[in-house]
Amino acid sequence: MIDKRVSEDEIIGELADGMVIGVGGWGSRRKPMSLIRAIARSSLKDLTIVSYGGPDVGLLCAAGKVRKVVSGFVSLDSIPLEPFYRQARQNGTIQAAEWDEGMLLLGLQAAGWRVPFLPTRAGLGSDIPRLMPDLQTVTSPYDDGETLLAVPALDLDVALIHMNRADQGGNGQYLGPDPYFDDLFAMAATTCFMTCERLVPTEELAAAARPETIIINRLMTTGVLEVGRGAHFTTCAPDYARDEAFQRVYNAASKSDASWQAFKDRYVDAPTQADYLRAVDELAASSAADSASNGTRPEGAAK
């Protein structure tokens, strides 16, 4: 089995201006945030991001890396509207195609199957065909003659995904409650890079959970990188929950240019994952100390 371990620099080195990049996860859940920050620090630009979006989309919009977003939604879950994406839409600094969630799934599936489109009823009866006039319909060739929406394949240059566990050959496993559609992103892409919480021997994947949790097989992946807490501040259940306190700090950073610059300087521009986590943990410790001195519960602490 080929050893597919790569470095973060090697992954970023494979990306280029103008690429179509798919990002796995869902909202503020199991996003490959260490790679997203690395892209934000890079010189890359004019990217098209395809995502069931969360802070991956917002952070790249704030960093000026995005030309277009193709999404089913963009949300922080506990904070309904992603603040930096909203600003980019309102300011007209990006193009956006907001698809029905089912349409996005079928677009990825079509790309993975290497067919030009897949037919669906999703999106019919909505404003999507009016707002996206390039979408075409097809008529069923069978007796029903039904008119269906032809969802075009979402061909990706690169997919970026994050798994709980992986092996050095590029097999990946989720251990949380939902696989999301990371396997579809991987299959829709020419190249797929996977980060994981832990790299383990292949036999440990089968021992850890049911075989069907190994949704990423080595044929889908180009490279794999172990990054502990690599999805922070999004959730990566069962390894860790969403860092709600930090997510609120991220949201507050959208309030002004100065607050964004301060957030970027401290967290986004941290050169390594260790530097980033050190800054995150310092913030949490400072918050806990302030709460202790005030006799209040630290923000985000369990009740």
pLDDT in tens for each of the 303 residues of the chain?
899 999 999 999 999 999 999 999 999 999 999 999 999 999 999 999 999 999 999 999 999 999 999 999 999 999 999 999 999 999 999 999 999 999 999 999 999 999 999 999 998 988 888 888 899 999 999 999 999 999 999 999 999 999 999 999 999 999 999 999 999 999 999 999 999 999 999 999 999 899 999 999 999 999 999 999 999 999 999 999 999 999 999 999 999 999 999 999 999 999 999 999 999 999 999 888 776 667 666 554 443
pTM: 0.94
- List the one residue out of 19, 18, 53, 56 whose CA is nearest residue 38: 56
- List the one residue out of 54, 38, 62 whose CA is nearest residue 276: 38
Chain centroid offset of residue 280 CA = 20
| CA distances in angstroms from 61 to 75, 81, 170, 185, 245, listed in the order given | 14, 14, 29, 20, 22
The torsion angles phi and psi of 34, rounded to 5 degrees, stand at: -65, -40
Sole residue written with tokens 């005030």: 294
Burial 153-188 (b: 16+ CB within 10 A, else e): bbbbbbbbbbbbbbbbbbbbbbebeebbbbbbbbbb
Which residues sit opposite 165 in a β-bridge?
Answer: 173, 198
Q: Are 51 and 26 in contact (CB under 8 A)?
A: no
